[in-house]
């Protein structure tokens, strides 16, 4: 309907940002790219475009996913639209020295060959503006540690779908403790058979029930970490 | 064409009992975590025979082959994508051997699990590729002597439909279940009512359809009531987990007792389910209790959601995602561009 046609360039900044939230919700990649370019052309700081438009929009998507209103297909389309906008912003964010959202190294633990949940978390974390290095399945403690060394991430994410493999998360955390590096990272764990109690028992920072919770938790912990006085 | 073994059994019996867990049983036999279970078809055939035989001895009329992850997309993770045909053929042939020695009709169901890939446009999997992947597996299962293909634990209907097409290409009858584990729906958002309607749209529909795995026996039974409410006319399959995995002082166990699973089996039968089995955590002792209860307990009235909650425990979510607009976006829209 022509009456409903919205011309992005004719919207005020506030309206444009709200429209971007809707367009992210609907997974409209081209519209998001156009709107990001408009914000930048209007003199917005890349970091503001990222946080106020894209990340805020993905937060709404994440909340509706958590509440069982949206399902995986819609969320992946939204994350894809977000990535379109992110690709434009990324070089600008680096050029302006904007604070990073954060970086995550993620992988399924040794002995476990399941990866759908882990992949979803990776995609949604990228959708929320995080950098993600995916180690794939069946990761030994050595592989995790090498990736931490190489990437210097804020977050280590571990996934397990089997009751037989989830205890390996403790092996990784214990090794990090031995090497005195446990507190350098936020450790998030997830997977169908896990729960909060297990996560506490093995010394992780938090258990994430699903990909939406993982994103919220990651954001909360990274914010806390950044507010911490430098040691 | 002669009627397949499963259809024959279904036409002569009110209910059939399927098997229980594959993974849980194999881990108990010493399968190392990370090792693809399908490798045992050739490396440890005696264990796979024991797995199948335990289900038959516990009273199963149908058992699933150890081929759940036997598609090229999964086996590729172990650089074994070249062994699809072999591992499926052997997995089914071992099953044929056990079934033929049972002294009664036992159906060998060739297990076909998900590829683990996500369909385009979100992921990279195309319909044509998915059909090809499942077709390769189906041919192996057929060669080994599987009676039917058993597509299970699906989340995306696109993948379920691709498996249906592969079954048609292989000239095999099939059954197919999805895993309803996310607020009453599958991970990809499919409701029980949607599956009941969609199976009827397939060019090569399944003999029976239903639910497996998911979140415990209560949720699974609620899903089954959803199939029925949607007017399903095809036989329904229920293969629920033996409760929910719980972590207790360093080890993990499923909290569903044989008594609970017996209760679940009777409720499923009273709800009109024709094929009743278990999934994760369901051991031979659970199956024995289920069979005994199915044979000894009189038919009861069709259970309600409240009966299920009372007998099997609380649900994991308030609604099963069907009906009204519970699954639709609730946001106030600013307007949609056309």
Q: In angstroms, what separates the C-alpha of B298 from chain A's closest C-alpha? A: 35
Q: What is the mean pLDDT of residues A65-93?
A: 89
**For B77, which of A18, A31, A137 is closest by C-beta distance?**
A137
B260-311 pLDDT tens trace: 999 999 999 999 999 999 998 899 999 999 999 999 999 999 999 999 999 9
Quote the CA–CA distance of A128 and B236 in Å, as a whole number.
Answer: 41
Helix, coil or strand: residue B255 = coil
**For B189, which of A28, A73, A163 is closest by C-beta distance?**
A73
**Number of Cβ pairs < 8 A linking chain A and chain B:** 107
Residue of B nearest to A138 (CA): B34
Q: What is the pLDDT of residue A107?
A: 96
Q: Which residues in chain B show pLDDT less than 50?
A: 324-330, 336-338
pTM: 0.84
A211 in Cβ contact with A132 (< 8 Å) = no
A8-53 pLDDT tens trace: 999 999 999 999 999 999 999 999 999 999 999 999 999 999 999 9
**Strand partners for B278:** B240
Is the CB of B42 inside 8 Å of chain A's CB atoms? Answer: no
Instruction: Sketch the domain layout of chain B as residue ranges.
Output: 5-337
Residue B309 CA from chain centroid, whole number = 22
Chosen for mutation from A2, A6, A72 (greatest number of chain B CBs closer than 10 Å) is A72
Q: Are B336 and A22 within 8 A, CB to CB?
A: yes
Q: CATH assignment of B5-337?
A: 3.20.20.330
The pair of three-digit structure tokens given for residue A201, joined into one six-digit string: 């028992």
B54 in Cβ contact with B281 (< 8 Å) = no
Is the CB of B245 inside 8 Å of chain A's CB atoms? Answer: yes
Chosen for mutation from B21, B122, B336 (greatest number of chain A CBs closer than 10 Å) is B122
**For A113, which of B77, B317, B321 is closest by C-beta distance?**
B77
Residues 44-63 of A with CB under 8 A from B: 60
- Would you place residue A4 in the very low, low, confident or very high pLDDT band (cuts 50, 70, 90)? low
Is the CB of A106 inside 8 Å of chain B's CB atoms? Answer: no
A190 in Cβ contact with A121 (< 8 Å) = yes
Q: What is the pLDDT of residue B249?
A: 62
Residue A119 with chain B: CB contacts under 8 Å: 118
């Amino acid at each position: 309907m022509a009456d409903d046609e919205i011309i992005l360039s004719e919207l005020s900044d506030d309206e444009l940002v709200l429209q971007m939230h809707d367009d992210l919700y609907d997974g409209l990649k081209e519209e998001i790219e156009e709107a990001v370019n408009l914000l930048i052309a209007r003199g917005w700081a890349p970091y503001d475009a990222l946080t106020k438009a894209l990340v805020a929009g993905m937060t709404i998507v994440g909340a509706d996913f958590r509440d069982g209103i949206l399902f995986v297909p819609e969320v992946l389309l939204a994350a894809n639209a977000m990535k379109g906008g992110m690709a434009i912003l990324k070089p600008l964010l680096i050029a302006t020295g904007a604070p990073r959202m954060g970086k995550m190294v993620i992988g399924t633990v040794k002995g476990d060959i399941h990866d759908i949940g882990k992949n979803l978390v990776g995609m949604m974390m990228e959708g929320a503006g995080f950098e993600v290095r995916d180690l794939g399945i069946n990761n030994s403690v050595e592989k995790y540690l090498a990736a931490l060394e190489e990437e210097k991430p804020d977050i280590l994410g571990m996934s397990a779908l089997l009751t037989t493999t989830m205890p390996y998360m403790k092996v990784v955390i214990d090794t990090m403790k031995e090497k005195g590096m446990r507190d350098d990272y936020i450790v998030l764990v997830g997977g169908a058979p896990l729960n909060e109690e297990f996560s506490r028992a093995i010394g992780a920072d938090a258990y994430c029930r699903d990909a939406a919770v993982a994103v919220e938790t990651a954001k909360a912990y990274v914010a806390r970490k950044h507010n911490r006085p430098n040691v | 064409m002669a009627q397949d073994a499963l259809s024959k059994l279904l036409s002569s019996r009110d209910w059939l009992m399927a098997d229980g867990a594959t993974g849980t049983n194999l881990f108990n036999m010493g399968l190392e975590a990370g090792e693809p279970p399908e490798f045992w078809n050739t490396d440890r055939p005696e264990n796979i025979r024991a797995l199948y035989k335990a289900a038959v001895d516990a009273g199963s009329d149908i058992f699933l082959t150890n081929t759940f992850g036997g598609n090229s997309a999964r086996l590729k993770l172990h650089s074994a994508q070249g062994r699809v045909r072999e591992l499926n053929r052997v997995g089914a042939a071992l099953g044929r051997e056990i079934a033929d020695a049972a002294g009664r009709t036992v159906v060998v169901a060739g297990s076909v699990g998900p590829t683990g890939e996500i369909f385009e446009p979100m992921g990279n999997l195309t319909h044509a590729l998915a059909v090809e992947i499942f077709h390769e597996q189906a041919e192996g299962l057929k060669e080994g002597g599987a009676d039917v293909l058993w597509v299970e634990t699906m989340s995306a209907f696109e993948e379920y439909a691709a498996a249906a097409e592969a079954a048609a290409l292989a000239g095999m009858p099939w059954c197919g279940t999805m895993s309803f584990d996310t607020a009453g729906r599958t991970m990809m958002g499919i409701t029980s009512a949607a599956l009941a309607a969609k199976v009827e749209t397939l060019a090569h529909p399944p003999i029976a359809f239903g639910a497996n795995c998911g979140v415990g026996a209560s949720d699974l039974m609620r899903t089954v009531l959803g199939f029925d409410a949607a007017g399903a006319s095809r036989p329904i399959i229920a293969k629920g987990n033996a409760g929910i995995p719980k972590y207790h002082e360093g080890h993990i166990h499923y909290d569903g007792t044989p008594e609970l699973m017996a209760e679940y089996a009777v409720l499923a039968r009273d709800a009109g389910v024709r094929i009743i089995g278990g999934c994760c955590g369901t051991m031979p002792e659970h199956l024995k209790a289920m069979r005994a209860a199915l044979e000894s307990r009189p038919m009861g009235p069709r259970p309600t959601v409240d009966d299920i909650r009372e007998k099997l425990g609380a649900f994991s979510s308030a609604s099963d995602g069907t009906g009204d607009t519970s699954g639709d976006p609730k946001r106030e829209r600013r307007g949609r561009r056309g």
